Amino acid sequence: MTAAGVHELEPTDYRHMLIFLLLLTTAWARPLLTDRGYRWQEACTEALAYVPFESSNPRDISILGTRCHYQPALGSVLLCVHRNTIPEELDWSYRSLIENCEDKGYFLTQTDLFYAWMNASEFEDTAYELPTGPTSGPLVHRPVSVPNDTFATYYHVIDEAIYYTNFASYYSYGLGFFWAVVFFFGVVSNFIAKNAHNVTARFFAGKKTNMVRRHFFMSALGSLKHNVPLSIRRMGIMAVPTRAQFVVTFIYVFAEILYIFIGLAIAPRGLPLKDLQANWVKSIANRSGGMAVTQVPWIFLFAGRNNILMWMTGWGFDTFNVFHRWIARMCVLHSLIHTIAYAMSAHKYNFLEAGLHLPYFKWGIAATVCCVALCVQAFYYFRHWKYEVFLALHIVLALFFLIGVWIHIDMFHWCEYVYAAGAVWVFDRFMRLFRIWWSGVCVVGDFQIADEKQKIMRITIDYSRMWEVYPGAHLYLYVLNSKRVWENHPFTVYQSPQATRDGRLSLMVRAKEGKTKELYNSILDSKMNTVQYNCLVEGPYGNSHPVHKYDTCIIMAGGIGVTAAYAYAVSCLNQERVMGRQKIVFVWVLPTDEALQWFKPELDFLQQFGNVEVQLYFTSKKYRVENEMEKMVFDTPEKNVGSPPPVPKKDSVFVNIMPVSPFERELIPPRNSSLPKHPKLMRSSSRSNTSPAAFGQDQHFRTGSSDTLLNPAKGYFDSLPDRKSTILDYYTEESSPRVRTMDTIYGRRPDMNALLSKHFEECRGTCSVTICAAPAMNDDVRNAVTNNMDKCKGRVDYFEESFSW
């Protein structure tokens, strides 16, 4: 499951607003040390670093504090500035010094600096030798001079430090370009897939293309699973990315580590060894700090539900979650390097104790602690152990981290990155509220228990009808009558036949822990068939895959994932009247056949169409419901009723290991046998073979006097009054066939390699495989597709509906 959709909310101007906002904040961003006079006054300050000036403030035990309020220290800096600064830069040096002192709480004017310089000129101690390290000598009470060669050495050091620090800004531009290239390919591929399907089917198919896609784009990293987490002693460690995701993250991480050290140079000769080490440490600290700040907007953007890049690229939330986690990890690495390196530098200059009393220093440490805590508590095990606790703590820590970074870098004029991150976060929250309003604000939902053994609930919800349900859509549901109102969970949204007629939304929810378990128990305790709750609907989210454009559409589901699979099947049938013929294979793997009770209307609907092949796999032994659970079967003439089922071949994928016929066919009329109220779907007179070969593209179905290739409902669709309406609008239980059948297999799971290999060999054109199931089944299908895609004559595309945190 993804988090942005093809059928998005209207109006869509907010996308352009966000792009403009991000570009604007990026344009505002500027390097850390670009003040023209900074180099001069900072070089003088560094040269005087070890002079033990007396200070009236016991916290100011270094030149960094005393230069702003102790006249001998301030005068020494100004004497050095006047003697070494070129005339046109003198005014800028004054401004830079005033600004730095303001950041420390001391407010000076240029007049104050001028008189301080005049005063220092009269009392200068020219005989004092500058110490090259910490000294325990007598305190200095007079202004001292800085030799020209010493100033030149430190000026070069400061100039290098500025370059290293500004490199972080240059890196941020390179980072933006890197992601722009990655997303450009995503946008182009998404556009071609949805608007130029024939191009990919014609020019990007074949064994060479399949080899590249198999080894680079589709497979998981190495021989590992993608959806099933990497575990040690049954404890989840991490989710393994796909190979394409790994390549992108590897390039990014490699560049991150490389850019910390690239371009670092040895300081000029004449600088003491301790100062050489301190300069190198401070340069790395400056660069790593700047690089950490530049990551923050990307971290917030990739973590949001309303990420515009999801809509542009068609990538799912899990893909951006991979990027989000690795960018955050690099931000933590940079923050740790920055904090440790600056702590070493502050200790060298005897500034550590004084710095701990400064707001920017304290909040910088707090921000580092928060980001480390965020990284630790986001480990896979903690994230899935108590997700709601993780989420609440994650949000709180993220806010404190952003506030800490803001206070820490405010004096360095890099707040534009924080503003961009804050704007993205506020925008995401605003869009959540907007989606709730767009869906009707407070709506009523009917909650029913569909399956007590599997703890499955059916939820039918009213909504504003201002947006249309589309395949791949999901929403976040808030239940206002529950204890934890603030909790919301993503659920696949689809429309059952009844919900379509009523103009409502359908959800099938399996109770696990937390909120869903609470709702399930409340319905049980009510002892009512239907319980109504007031709800907030935040949606729709999700991206829709263009499966209707393929000649063969294989839709697979596991358990409750059938809702997403059903939505895609209905979408293909809706497009059938526009796109022409298409073969649809609907495969559902589930524990017991009790699901045929609560999903019967949906399966009934699919079974009306001759181009739909339904296969059900029940992993448990056959279970019969005492109250005559109905089995769905195809139209079969009376002469075929009661005839024995076909025996599968030995190499058939339907060979059953249990003593139950692999093709379970029960010809039981449905409950309602009245005549259909809507035009009956005309179909072939017999169906003696239910294998996929029976649906060859040369098979004809008759509707009146016209022949239709694989389109049994052509005449039915032609009678629809409005093309905006869907086939579900005209479906009633009475309009379904009198006798229906489907392939049911008991006591086993399907062999995905054999199953897909069989369908790929029979496919005469393009083929799509869509899966929505548990992580293990998703990985099995992914591997089966990559292993057998060469057996299909046309292009094979794999689409996965999954939602991972």
Domain boundaries, the chain: 13-32+165-433, 49-145, 439-541, 548-639+706-800
Q: Pairing mode, if any, of strands 456-461 and 706-709?
A: unpaired
As a whole number of angstroms, the longest Cα–Cα distance in the chain is 121
Q: What is the mean pLDDT of residues 749-768?
A: 90
Does the pLDDT at position 15 exceed 80? no
Residue 130's pLDDT band (cuts 50, 70, 90): confident
- 3-state SS of 329-349 is HHHHHHHHHHHHHHHHHHHHC
Please tell me the predicted confidence (pLDDT) of residue 271. Answer: 52
Please tell me the predicted confidence (pLDDT) of residue 685. Answer: 31
Q: Which conformational region is residue 580 in: left (phi greater than 0), alpha (psi within -120 to 50 degrees), or beta?
A: left
- List, as one string, the DSSP characters of 704-747: TTEEEET-TTHHHHHT-S-TTS-GGGG--GGGS-SS---EEEES
Q: What is the mean pLDDT of residues 632-653?
A: 38
Q: How far is CA 356 from each of CA 97, 107, 344, 362, 372, rounded to the nearest angstrom?
A: 22, 21, 13, 6, 19
Instruction: Flag the least confident range among 31-35, 48-52, 149-153, 465-469.
Output: 31-35
Beta bridge partners of 445: 461, 533
Highest mean pLDDT pick, 53-67, 222-236, 319-333, 631-645? 319-333
Please tell me the predicted confidence (pLDDT) of residue 427. Answer: 95
Tell me how many degrees the CA angle 522-525-526 measures, rounded to the nearest 5: 85
Does the pLDDT at position 86 exceed 60? yes
Please tell me the predicted confidence (pLDDT) of residue 72. Answer: 87
Please tell me the predicted confidence (pLDDT) of residue 13. Answer: 40
Answer whether 439-541 and 548-639+706-800 agree in fold. no
Whether the CB-CB separation of 436 and 536 falls below 8 Å is answered with yes
Instruction: Flag the least confident range among 309-323, 342-356, 512-526, 592-606.
Output: 342-356
Query: The tokens of 137 are what?
Result: 């000598």
Q: Which residue has the tokens 């440790």?
A: 340
Give the dihedral sign, CA 779/781/783/786: negative
Residue 482's pLDDT band (cuts 50, 70, 90): confident
Please tell me the predicted confidence (pLDDT) of residue 82. Answer: 87
Instruction: Flag the least confident range among 154-163, 471-480, 566-575.
Output: 154-163
Please tell me the predicted confidence (pLDDT) of residue 566. Answer: 93
Q: Pairing mode, if any, of strands 700-703 and 706-709?
A: antiparallel
Please give the distance of CA 236 from its chain centroid, rounded to a whole number. Answer: 20
Name the H helices within 108-242. 110-122, 148-195, 197-203, 207-212
Q: What is the mean pLDDT of residues 469-497?
A: 88
Whether the CB-CB separation of 47 and 144 falls below 8 Å is answered with no
Higher pLDDT, 686 or 531: 531
The string of pLDDT tens digits covering residues 621-632 is 665 433 334 444
DSSP state of 218: I
Q: Pairing mode, if any, of strands 456-461 and 505-510?
A: antiparallel
Does the pLDDT at position 643 exceed 70? no
**What is the C-alpha to C-alpha distance for residues 445 and 460, in angstroms, rounded to an integer?**
6
Does the pLDDT at position 393 exceed 60? yes
The string of pLDDT tens digits covering residues 172-188 is 788 889 999 999 999 99
Instruction: Flag the least confident range among 82-96, 97-111, 113-127, 723-737.
Output: 723-737
Please tell me the predicted confidence (pLDDT) of residue 738. Answer: 38
Residue 125's pLDDT band (cuts 50, 70, 90): confident
Neighbours of 40 (CB within 10 A): 27
Instruction: Report the side by side order of strands in the sheet with 767-772.
Output: 743-746, 612-618, 583-590, 552-558, 767-772, 796-800
Please tell me the predicted confidence (pLDDT) of residue 434. Answer: 95
Q: What is the mean pLDDT of residues 142-168?
A: 79
Does the pLDDT at position 578 exceed 50? no
**What is the C-alpha to C-alpha distance for residues 473 and 490, in angstroms, rounded to an integer?**
10
Nearest of 301, 263, 285, 300 to residue 170 by alpha carbon: 263
What amino acid is encoded at 261 in this protein?
Answer: F
pTM of structure: 0.74
Q: What is the mean pLDDT of residues 15-22?
A: 39
- 3-state SS of 251-297 is HHHHHHHHHHHCCCCCCCCCCCHHHHHHHHHHHHHHHHHHHHHHHHH
Percent of the chain with pLDDT over 70: 74
Q: What is the mean pLDDT of residues 743-756?
A: 87
Whether the CB-CB separation of 256 and 333 falls below 8 Å is answered with yes
Percent of the chain with pLDDT over 90: 25
In a 3-state reduction of DSSP, which class is residue 650? Answer: coil
Whether the CB-CB separation of 518 and 466 falls below 8 Å is answered with no
Please tell me the predicted confidence (pLDDT) of residue 150. Answer: 84
Does the pLDDT at position 532 exceed 60? yes
Whether the CB-CB separation of 491 and 554 falls below 8 Å is answered with no
Whether the CB-CB separation of 801 and 774 falls below 8 Å is answered with no
**What is the C-alpha to C-alpha distance for residues 508 and 449, in angstroms, rounded to an integer?**
10
CATH superfamily of 439-541: Translation factors (2.40.30.10)
Does the pLDDT at position 711 exceed 50? no
The string of pLDDT tens digits covering residues 654-701 is 333 333 333 333 333 333 433 333 333 333 333 333 333 333 333 333
**What is the C-alpha to C-alpha distance for residues 769 and 785, in angstroms, rounded to an integer?**
8
Q: Which residue has the tokens 């006054």?
A: 41
Burial class, 735, CB count within 10 angstroms (exposed 0-12 / middle 13-18 / buried 19+): buried
Secondary structure percentages of the chain, helix, strand, coil, to 5: 50, 15, 35
Across all residues in the chain, what is the average pLDDT? 76
Please tell me the predicted confidence (pLDDT) of residue 629. Answer: 40
Please tell me the predicted confidence (pLDDT) of residue 622. Answer: 61
Residue 267's pLDDT band (cuts 50, 70, 90): low
Does the pLDDT at position 718 exceed 70? no
Nearest of 465, 463, 495, 498 to residue 477 by alpha carbon: 463
CATH fold of 548-639+706-800, please?
Answer: Rossmann fold (3.40.50)
Please tell me the predicted confidence (pLDDT) of residue 419. Answer: 94
The string of pLDDT tens digits covering residues 405-459 is 999 988 777 888 999 999 999 999 999 999 999 999 999 999 999 888 888 999 9
Phi and psi at 786, nearest 5°, equal -65, -30
